[in-house]
Copies of this chain bind each other. A is one copy, B any other.
């Protein structure tokens, strides 16, 4: 049986749109209180159909089980200013009762060999379709700006080399990952100063948006 992907992915788009609004709302709330927001910005996407099919082939997932088993068809990415903010966001997600955390992986403390850093959470999120309620799997990635910069580039290189990046480029990527880590470190050191500064700054801007 042929799957109508455009139609099947509509609930995933819906879950992404709703979660984007919800996490952006958290940011708004912090800003309005004049407190440093752990969320800098929020992005979302539904995986393109060819990428879904390729991943399913690679992982031996039969086509009729893809929608229930693949965990990152719907994806949310939350970008933070500081490494500490990542853990604040994780805590905020776990407190909500409009979603259910199914699993998590901390690639920030335990970075991958490639240099990849990010915090991953898989959730189940309920939406309401015309034919009734449904639960959608969503992967949330939480990263600093610096981690995100690096990850975007690794993703492109992985795509180019079909997952097998040549050794000399791998080494360059690792050096870039170290520079990215160093930037996060330096930023953390001035964090306390910055937080107080941003608090004053947000107060000033709230009225003038």
Residues on A close to B: CB < 8 A? Answer: 6-7, 10, 13-14, 17-18, 21-22, 25-26, 28-30, 32-33, 48-51, 81, 92, 95-98, 126-130, 132-133, 145-146, 149, 152-153, 155-157, 159-161, 169, 172-173, 175-176, 178-180, 182-183, 185-187, 189-190, 193-194, 196-198, 200-201, 204-209
* Residue pair B25, A159 in contact (C-beta under 8 Å): no
Across the interface, which residues of B come within 8 angstroms of A146, CB to CB? 146, 149, 183
Across the interface, which residues of B come within 8 angstroms of A6, CB to CB? 32, 206-207
A18-B21, A206-B6 given; A186·B194 CB < 8 A: no
A185-B179, A193-B157 given; A205·B169 CB < 8 A: no
Question: Which residue from B13, B92, B145 sits with its C-beta under 8 Å from A130?
Answer: B92
* Residue pair B10, A29 in contact (C-beta under 8 Å): yes
With the chains together, A50 CA to B203 CA distance in Å?
Answer: 12
Across the interface, which residues of B come within 8 angstroms of A26, CB to CB? 130
* Residue pair A186, B172 in contact (C-beta under 8 Å): yes
Across the interface, which residues of B come within 8 angstroms of A97, CB to CB? 128, 133
* Residue pair A172, B189 in contact (C-beta under 8 Å): yes
Indicate how many identical chains form the complex.
4
Question: Which residue from B13, B98, B200 sits with its C-beta under 8 Å from A159?
Answer: B200
A45 to chain B, nearest CB (A): 9
With the chains together, A193 CA to B97 CA distance in Å?
Answer: 44
With the chains together, A126 CA to B97 CA distance in Å?
Answer: 10
* Residue pair A160, B201 in contact (C-beta under 8 Å): yes
* Residue pair A156, B201 in contact (C-beta under 8 Å): yes
* Residue pair B187, A153 in contact (C-beta under 8 Å): yes
Write the chain B residue with the least CB distance to A178: B186
A17 to chain B, nearest CB (A): 5
